[in-house]
Structure 1
Amino acid sequence: MAIIGNLIKGVINLRNSISSETDHVKNQKETLIYLLEKAKHTEFGKHYEFSKVLDSENPYKEFKSTIPYFSYEKIQNEWWYKLHEGKDDVTWPGHPNYFALSSGTTGKTSKRIPVTDDMIEAIKNAGIKQVLAMENFKLPADFFEKEIMMLGSSTNLEKNNNHVEGEISGISASRIPFWFRGFYKPGEEISKIDDWDERVQKIAENAKNWDIGALSGIPSWMELMMEKVIDYHKVDNIHDIWPNLKVYTSGGVAFGPYEKSFKRLTGNPVEVIDTYLASEGFIALQTRPETDSMQLLTDNGIFFEFVPFQPEYINQDGSLKPDSPSISIEDVELDKDYVLLVSTVSGAWRYSIGDTIQFTDIEKAEIKITGRTKFFLNTVGSQLSVNKMDAAMKELEEQFDVDISEYTICAKRAEDGEFYHFWYLGASTTDLDTSKVADALDEALQAANKNYKVARTKALKGVKVNLIKPEVFYEWNARNKKKGGQVKMERVMNEEKFEDWEKFVQEH
């Protein structure tokens, strides 16, 4: 019914036409005050004297001089553990009904990050903002009648004492409003299947029954799902099954490394829209087609801070040193790497989520994710960040006509006693001269990074490359975390983890 699509599009047009330009600095000042007011009677708020912070002439200055930085381990060991003992009003009023499980990149026991009703509401509001932003992408009216394939973790959440837990994508999908359920695929029954392979098999079997207009999920798992559907139906590309597919909303990781392999699976162009949903909250989303940067959600229950991403401010484990300087959004600069800190309506305070970002447009508060603090490779002064590595992968793809969707690296001594960077690349073909690939990678990194170039003339002897199938990375993730989940592949490994990885590769 085309009339429904035109009606929805008309409502979006109307909402966007009456919205004014956003004042992100004002939004953030108001958000900080809101968070402090709401939490001032919690244990955390009393301990750090939020009332005193609120009464000061400069609340942000008082806020950052009073409250330390928190990693997950620090806030869990000092505060959040009380939530699991049944206590209320710890770092946020009341008690969270949900906990988001996030194993991050370590493969160790899952982090349990509180998700309050206020955060659920904030994530829902971010979803509405995303729908409203669709008008900027000039999509046809009938797009708004199509179904949306949301591929995330199982919505079959686990009960644990007085709360429910699962990955944030599963929590979000389990709270889909009733009016949206007719558009949502693969539907409630299939989404509850815990086993990833069984769930994807069911999606493949039912794929022709659905008219999918949009896909949403982690790139690596989305590609595996599309490959399964294509193979099951013996077709050339995903548009042979879903001809009306127009949009893919990516998230969780940078889409760049997957761009080439993703295009190989689609027959027609697909608008890729980036989103930034972390276990700690919905942080940013792309609002316009002229850029692939994302706009920080500055009025949606999260206060942001930024620490310059410099080696002297970062501990070996990726955490921040206590005396590292932080700034608010009004003092940020373009094209400079920052460690992102959040204070949220789930009771996270000055909390490092481990990501680094750059501002690409300050007035619009638009950012790009540039990497992870744990993935910053500074052995022998090479100072390589993930965005530099991603850019080098793109150069290799063009030079050797190959898809490289996954990679990992370790800096260690070889048998000759010299330091090398050991790379494993998940490539669409392994029939390449690895010495030529290594030389090209080395040249690309030297051209892009002066610190790396200096390191190459001193302590860093060279680059060694191994080409393997991308499936090995997916199986590694499946073994260490959960297949189909919110996974950030370890782009940089320490020597102990790398030894385990190499054994795993040899077995596969």
Structure 2
Amino acid sequence: MALFDIQLPLSIARALRLPQNDPRRQQLRVLKKLLRKAKFTEFGQKYRFDEILMSRHIGKKFQELVPIYNYNTIYEEWWHKTLEGVPDVCWPGKIKYYALSSGTSESSSKYIPITNDLLAGNRVVMIKHILTLRNYQDIPVRSIGKGWLMIGGSTALQKNAGYYAGDLSGITAKKVPFWFQPFYKPGRKIAREKDWNKKLEDIVEKAPEWDIGFIVGVPAWIQMCIEKIIERYEVENIHDIWPHLAFFVHGGVSFEPYKKGFEKLLGKPITYIETYLASEGFIAYQDRQYAKGMKLVTNEHIFLEFVPFDYKNFDDNGDIVPNPETLMIHEVEEGKDYALLISTSAGAWRYLIGDTVRFTDKKRCEIIITGRTKHFLSLVGEHLSVDNMNKAIQTVSEDLNISIPEYTVVGKPYNNFFAHHWYIATDDKVNAEELRLRIDAKLKEINDDYAVERKSALKEIFLDVLHEERFMEFMRLKGKIGGQHKFPRVLKGRMLEDWNKFLKGELV
């Protein structure tokens, strides 16, 4: 039987704008709503939102008149004004909150505008997500009303001249609705703690006092927290402390590399639910058990566009070319990778968020995240995606019965040709040479381009095994500990320079 049966009154269903059958119509309605709200802003006036709204083909007119932006271009042209207190730039009113985000490759912080409209939209999506639990079968009903442990950034935000800045998870936790307060852990006091290690210690200290049914967060930091709880109280697994733990809501990074190690910490199976909550908005969530992908949010506060992720639309560095092919949701195909453009209720317009997605079910609008536009390896045409890497790591770790919670890959010149250098994190005993050969063989199996190039210009594969703590230490030295920070799967640029210094003991 279903977990619970909810028959919502029609008025509530309409208020929540629960999904209907036509994603194209939903998306055009969202676009009109965004354009109407922002038509009197500087951005709306420059790009003739009134004219777009009058067009019979509003989507195509929008694409014709409004250029594509990435963070650097939209910040330099528009968002920097909002930090100076200028109102009505890209969205009505003044921006009072900014999510600080460095992604997984940039060294300097990005200031992503957060508006009340965006937060309200996110909250509606969160409620919809909770309601989808009725689609899950044979899971413990009692766990629904237990505590929700949400481990994210500090809610103690930086106060600046006219605005606050901090981690999106911190901003969201700071604005937890009153009705959710009894369920929310670790509570306001611990959530405000800026020191990640101190926050972790406080959570471990309080753990036996809580009855947790849900844990929410990035897999690496959740796993670290659970390991510390098990170690502190000398128990076999986390269910000895939290017997009603039944759900892990995760996002931001593929869970597959973490799954084997994570399940060693459990006393019984739990349900994993994936979400796609970026600093720029709540984009997708898994809405049914055993789904292969996450359902895109098509009818709330984000307008989505899709750029085929290929050499016609992106250069060798992963930068988008001028005037790329851009598709709306009804024009996409299953099985192809697309870079995602979003327009949101916080004044992000045709914004290249940096993620690549693939439709697993077009009718249901279900996608998986396949990587980042900057996080892929194609030195000689091997077209190696993060999705390929994750699948190889998952398969090999299962075959060898080891846990590989972190890894990263570097492309480099080698004897007039090229090579890949893997750095694998595991605390299990493993033969590095066997690991290297197995990963290489699996990638040849799942990626034809990689197999071809391994016979020509991609001459060698190197692999080093490191303790997981080495990866965590590097993140600490980079100031990327806890919260939403993730270790980049492909190292390039400044991060690669710092990684090489770290391995030599020169980064302190």
CA distance in 2, matches of 1:245, 1:14: 27
Offset at residue 106 of structure 1 (A): 2.8
CA distance in 2, matches of 1:409, 1:96: 38
Offset at residue 15 of structure 1 (A): 6.4
Identify the range of structure 1 (152-161 vs 312-321) with the bigger mean alpha-carbon deviation.
Answer: 312-321
CA distance in 1, matches of 2:273, 2:453: 37
Change (3 A) 1:211 1:292: farther
SS of the residue aligned with 2:377?
A: coil
Residue 490 of structure 1: aligned partner: 488
1:201-221 per-position Cα deviation (integer Å, ceiling 9, x unaligned): 111111010000000001110
Kept in 1: contact 2:396–2:435 (CA 8 A): yes
Tell me if 1:434 matches 2:438. Answer: no
Offset at residue 130 of structure 1 (A): 1.2
Residue 113 of structure 2: aligned partner: 114
Offset at residue 485 of structure 1 (A): 2.0
SS of the residue aligned with 2:312?
A: helix
Residue 81 of structure 1: aligned partner: 80
Matches within 5 A, 1:29-40: 29-40=28-39
SS of the residue aligned with 1:74?
A: helix
SS of the residue aligned with 1:265?
A: coil
Matches within 5 A, 1:43-82: 43-82=42-81
1:412-468 per-position Cα deviation (integer Å, ceiling 9, x unaligned): 124x44411000011232x43322221211111111111111111111102111011
Change (3 A) 1:117 1:378: same
Residue 501 of structure 1: aligned partner: 499
CA distance in 2, matches of 1:500, 1:151: 27
Residue 264 of structure 1: aligned partner: 264
CA distance in 2, matches of 1:382, 1:485: 33
Aligned-partner residue type, residue 434 of structure 1 = A
1:126-168 per-position Cα deviation (integer Å, ceiling 9, x unaligned): 1101110111124443223201000100111111111111111
SS of the residue aligned with 1:375?
A: coil
SS of the residue aligned with 2:264?
A: helix
Change (3 A) 1:348 1:499: closer
Offset at residue 499 of structure 1 (A): 4.2
Matches within 5 A, 1:465-484: 465-484=463-482
Kept in 2: contact 1:107–1:480 (CA 8 A): no
CA distance in 1, matches of 2:378, 2:96: 40
TM-score by length of 1: 0.94
Aligned-partner residue type, residue 332 of structure 2 = V
Residue 90 of structure 1: aligned partner: 89
Offset at residue 179 of structure 1 (A): 1.3
Identify the range of structure 1 (201-210 vs 50-59) with the bigger mean alpha-carbon deviation.
Answer: 50-59
Residue 128 of structure 1: aligned partner: 127
Offset at residue 9 of structure 1 (A): 4.8
Tell me if 1:325 matches 2:314. Answer: no
Aligned-partner residue type, residue 443 of structure 1 = A
Tell me if 1:220 matches 2:209. Answer: no
CA distance in 1, matches of 2:481, 2:284: 25
Identify the range of structure 1 (478-487 vs 268-277) with the bigger mean alpha-carbon deviation.
Answer: 478-487
Change (3 A) 1:484 1:413: same
CA distance in 2, matches of 1:468, 1:291: 34
Offset at residue 500 of structure 1 (A): 2.7
CA distance in 2, matches of 1:119, 1:45: 18
Tell me if 1:295 matches 2:295. Answer: yes
1:220-255 per-position Cα deviation (integer Å, ceiling 9, x unaligned): 100001011111111111111000000010011111
CA distance in 1, matches of 2:427, 2:21: 43
Task: Give the number of equivalent residue pairs.
Answer: 499
Identify the range of structure 1 (343-352 vs 476-485) with the bigger mean alpha-carbon deviation.
Answer: 476-485
SS of the residue aligned with 2:460?
A: strand
Tell me if 1:195 matches 2:195. Answer: yes
Kept in 2: contact 1:481–1:487 (CA 8 A): no
Offset at residue 502 of structure 1 (A): 3.0
Matches within 5 A, 1:7-406: 9=4, 12-14=6-8, 21-138=20-137, 139-406=139-406
SS of the residue aligned with 1:485?
A: coil
Kept in 2: contact 1:146–1:183 (CA 8 A): yes
SS of the residue aligned with 2:276?
A: strand
Kept in 1: contact 2:91–2:346 (CA 8 A): yes
Kept in 2: contact 1:217–1:249 (CA 8 A): yes
CA distance in 2, matches of 1:15, 1:289: 25
Residue 3 of structure 1: aligned partner: none
Kept in 2: contact 1:257–1:404 (CA 8 A): yes
CA distance in 1, matches of 2:411, 2:355: 21
Kept in 2: contact 1:31–1:303 (CA 8 A): yes
Offset at residue 350 of structure 1 (A): 0.5
CA distance in 2, matches of 1:506, 1:238: 37
Percent sequence identity is 42
Gaps of 5+ in 2: none
Offset at residue 256 of structure 1 (A): 1.4
CA distance in 2, matches of 1:479, 1:61: 46
CA distance in 2, matches of 1:343, 1:454: 39
Residue 455 of structure 1: aligned partner: 453
Identify the range of structure 1 (172-181 vs 498-507) with the bigger mean alpha-carbon deviation.
Answer: 498-507
CA distance in 1, matches of 2:235, 2:278: 34
Change (3 A) 1:183 1:496: closer
Higher normalized helix content (fraction of residues): 1
Kept in 2: contact 1:107–1:481 (CA 8 A): no
Root-mean-square deviation over aligned CA pairs? 1.9
1:82-108 per-position Cα deviation (integer Å, ceiling 9, x unaligned): 101111100111112210000112342
CA distance in 2, matches of 1:205, 1:299: 42
Change (3 A) 1:345 1:496: closer
Identify the range of structure 1 (474-483 vs 418-427) with the bigger mean alpha-carbon deviation.
Answer: 474-483
SS of the residue aligned with 1:228?
A: helix
Aligned-partner residue type, residue 332 of structure 1 = V
Identify the range of structure 1 (332-341 vs 284-293) with the bigger mean alpha-carbon deviation.
Answer: 284-293
Gaps of 5+ in 1: 1-5
Offset at residue 325 of structure 1 (A): 0.5
Change (3 A) 1:498 1:102: same
SS of the residue aligned with 1:490?
A: coil
1:30-51 per-position Cα deviation (integer Å, ceiling 9, x unaligned): 0011111111111001101111
1:391-412 per-position Cα deviation (integer Å, ceiling 9, x unaligned): 1101211232211121111111
Identify the range of structure 1 (475-484 vs 455-464) with the bigger mean alpha-carbon deviation.
Answer: 475-484
